[in-house]
Amino acid sequence: MSKCFPIFGKGNESVIFNPDELIDLFLDCTADGICIVDMENRFIRVNHMYTKIFGYTEDDVIGRRLAEFPNPDIVKDIIGAVKLGKTFHNIVTQRLHKDGTIIDIAVSYSPFRNSAGEIIAIIAIYRDISENKNIERELKRTRELYKLITENTSDMIKLYSKEEKRIVYASPSHEKGIGYTPKQLVGRTVYDLILPEEKDHFERVYQKLIETGEPQLLQVKLRTGDGKVIDSETTISPIFNEQKEIDSYVTVGRDITDRVKNDDALRNLDRLSIIGQLAAGVAHEIRNPLTSLKGFSKLLKSTTNKEKQEDYLSIIMNELDRIDMIVNEFMSLAKPEAIRFEWGNLFSILDSTVYILYPQAVLHNVQIKNHYQNNDIDLLCNPNQLKQVFVNFLKNAIESMPHGGNVYIDVQKIEGNRVLISFNDEGIGIDTGVIPYLGTPFYTTKDKGIGLGLTVSNKIIQEHNGTMKIESKIGQGTTVKVELECLMRE
């Protein structure tokens, strides 16, 4: 007869148990499925968790042989080895549930000995690990999918460390894209690839990534393995650790050299279109001083009075300076150039733009009025490209007022070191249904337009990390709002 003994619980209250009862309690309370098989391979005991894992009731299995249930072939050999005294721990395998579904199991087998040390049965302990295995399989499938994507995509994918900005991983596409194998890239820094003059631009974009924690778009020039220079467009995305801190970052880049060339071609086409439309106004503006030059040249020729000759020469020189200024402004707009950013004063750029448009404004009886007094807003920009953008807006405003009117230019600083520039006209306005299509290449509301002005303007503004918005109502005019960064000079 088994010897009973007390077990103390809360408040030192004791409950008397004998070992047989404790074994029953253990089998019923353990989180693992347990079965005991005798030396004839018959089930003699299963606990509640076993029935829960496999779906069989005690009546389904007690007294039946192990071979009557689906098991891997290796189980027979394992049972034989256990009968000889061996143990097996955490064998990961798959078994069938009663309903036919496959479950992942970790199982351990041990010999069950009597007090004399003789093996009288086999104990098998089962743990359902289906959820963990499903997670592992999903992770493996995801890794294989990512590997498949990175190894077959034409985009260049790199993983960088945060502090040193060193390449930790580079996709095979780099060999075709920029002439470097992944092995050649790992360990190098981002500064080894971009041109030296692009360093400041990269640092500004990277700082914004750190501050906002949001992906950033970067367009820089890269030097390839064979020494060529290409234009690259790259999305930089942060990778966060468990503390929600940026641990590293991943970049997805592509060669956009051909696209940049096409953009340049569109800009030049738009620039030529602007020049052609402004030519009549410029010719009219030059004709006035030319008339003065002809008249005073004749007077100069006909007089011998030294004082009058000096007056006439002074007038002639002033008119020549005026012509020179008009031509220079016109040529600055016409001159194609590479995209190069430099410090420029916003009000100087706007004043220069107004000067170019002045002849056309006069022809259309339009007054251009500015609402700004400050002269301390500096932009890191390409002045001539911004001038091209502003010319487009003012030209559109002038052409929208066939009977004359006013165009107002307003400048104000706003939050986040940005500046808002508004161009407001008193023209015929634009149907609200048309506004979403403005900026689409070759879409135009004009009879003689080519539909590139707003497309090119929007592209230039985006390259200056800015935004463009158009508001209009029929009969009430149109307002174009441009937001740009105004940085402090170092």
Q: Where are the domains of the chain?
A: 5-131, 153-255, 260-485
Distances (CA, A) of 394 to 211, 360, 427, 450, 482: 36, 10, 12, 17, 13
Asked if domains 5-131 and 153-255 share a fold, the reply is yes
Task: Enter the tokens of residue 109.
Answer: 């087998």
Residue 272 pLDDT: 59
The rounded distance, in Å, linking the Cα atoms of 350 and 332 is: 14
Position 41 confidence tier, pLDDT thresholds 50, 70, 90: very high
Cα–Cα nearest to 234, from 152, 145, 170: 170
**Bridge partners, residue 17, by sequence:** 5
pTM of this prediction? 0.41
Residue 398 pLDDT: 87
Average pLDDT score over residue span 451-457: 64
Question: How do residues 357-404 score in pLDDT, each as one tens digit?
Answer: 777 787 788 888 887 766 678 888 888 778 878 888 888 888 888 888
Residue 226 pLDDT: 85
Task: Measure the CA dihedral 97/103/106/110, to 10°.
Answer: 20
153-255 architecture in CATH? Answer: 2-Layer Sandwich (3.30)
Q: Rounded mean pLDDT of the chain?
A: 79
Residue 304 pLDDT: 74
Are the C-beta atoms of 186 and 168 separated by less than 8 Å?
yes
**Cα-trace Rg, the chain:** 41
Let me know how long the chain is: 490
What b-and-e string marks burial along 5-40, b requiring 16 or more CB atoms within 10 Å of the CB?
A: eeeeeeeeeeeebeeeeeeeeebeeeebbbbbbeee
> Which has the higher per-residue pLDDT, 150 or 241?
241
Residue 11 pLDDT: 54
Task: Enter the tokens of residue 317.
Answer: 């020189």
Average pLDDT score over residue span 148-153: 68
Q: Domain 260-485 - what CATH class?
A: alpha beta
Fold type of domain 5-131: Beta-Lactamase (3.30.450)
Residue 1 pLDDT: 46
Question: How do residues 79-104 score in pLDDT, each as one tens digit?
Answer: 999 999 999 999 999 999 999 999 99
What DSSP assignment string belongs to 449-464?
--S-HHHHHHHHHHHT
